[in-house]
Amino acid sequence: MAVKYKSIAIIGRQNTAGAAKTLAALIKHLQAKKINVALEHDTATILPNCKIPTIPREKLKDNCDLIVVVGGDGSLLSAARIAALQNLPVVGVNRGNLGFLTDITPNNLAKIDEILAGKYLEEYRFLLTVKTKNQKKSTTQSLALNDITFFSYVTGRMIEFAVYVDQQFLCNYRADGLIIATPTGSTAHALSCGGPILHPALENIVLVPVLSHNLSSRPIVISAESQIEIVFDESNLSNLLILCDGQTQTNIHSGPIKISKAKERLRLLHPTNYNYFETLRTKLNWEKKHRCQVPTIDNDC
């Protein structure tokens, strides 16, 4: 079987249960296929006695043509921001809980062989970028695959802010915060706050208020090409926080903040039998039985 991907970097997280065992099995499996394998620098600490090369995250592009992530969705989210910046494809091996983004199970590593041979489904998932001002008034920028969330870090404190979409006023909110999510992130925090599920092929962004004081406040879906601007009441600026994918954290020192679709995209690889709706049914424990049959269409009508 011809191999399309010959050099692989593996990324995992220390606090992921069973990661070390799966990492060791994956390395052994790939080396048996004569694949060049390296560990991302921080991942190497999980297997301190493993005698294979290590690579800093910022230099993965120079040393591999595919990233394999071992862990849950959190692990893949962390790797995705690096992969997108370096235009590297990513495949996930699930060692987490839900695993919306990590398709391959540890007991079915043979699925990776198909991907190595070029037999896979490739998706392009867009990311969001948020621009803020730091204490020195210079602009900082962060990426998110799932969502950008802002709130007060004073527990239970409501904040007041206005939202503009393409320079048009949307509305003023008094709420605990706001979630700005991609279709990828629509099944994460946005869903738990009452937001809709967006198919990953859609080019849309969903805005979901968190515990809004106005009971008529509802999530709204807008174009992914829209430019979003958040303006805060001055009394809030001393204790505001932005989270990107729940992982990278930034204090807001001055407003407004600007959010838009990033130019980078994540190249996410799936096995050929990947089915998004099957993933939803499985992960969200939806009804799986076919109680209604699809009617036969008479082509002669």
Q: pLDDT tens, 224-272?
A: 999 999 998 877 766 788 999 999 888 887 778 999 999 999 999 999 9
Q: Are residues 250 and 277 in the same domain?
A: no
Question: What is the domain-level CATH number for residue 103?
Answer: 3.40.50.10330
Q: Are residues 231 and 277 in the same domain?
A: no
Q: Are residues 161 and 43 in the same domain?
A: no
Q: Are residues 115 and 175 in the same domain?
A: no
What positions carry a catalytic annotation?
Answer: 73
| 64-85 CB burial, b ≥16 within 10 A, e <16 | bebbbbbbbbbbbbbbbbbbbb
3-state secondary structure of 151: strand
Q: Is the pTM of this model over 0.95?
A: no
Burial degree of 53 (CB within 10 A; 0-12, 13-18, 19+): exposed
Q: Are residues 132 and 255 in the same domain?
A: yes
Q: Note the pLDDT of residue 253.
A: 73
31: containing domain: 7-120+271-283
> Residues 82-134: pLDDT tens digits?
999 999 999 999 887 777 898 898 888 888 999 999 999 999 999 999 998 76
Q: Note the pLDDT of residue 154.
A: 77
> Residues 43-90: pLDDT tens digits?
999 888 888 999 999 999 999 999 999 988 899 999 999 999 999 999
Mention every residue, 6+ apart, whose C-beta is less than 8 A from residue 194: 208, 219
Question: What is the domain-level CATH number for residue 156?
Answer: 2.60.200.30
Q: Are residues 150 and 259 in the same domain?
A: yes
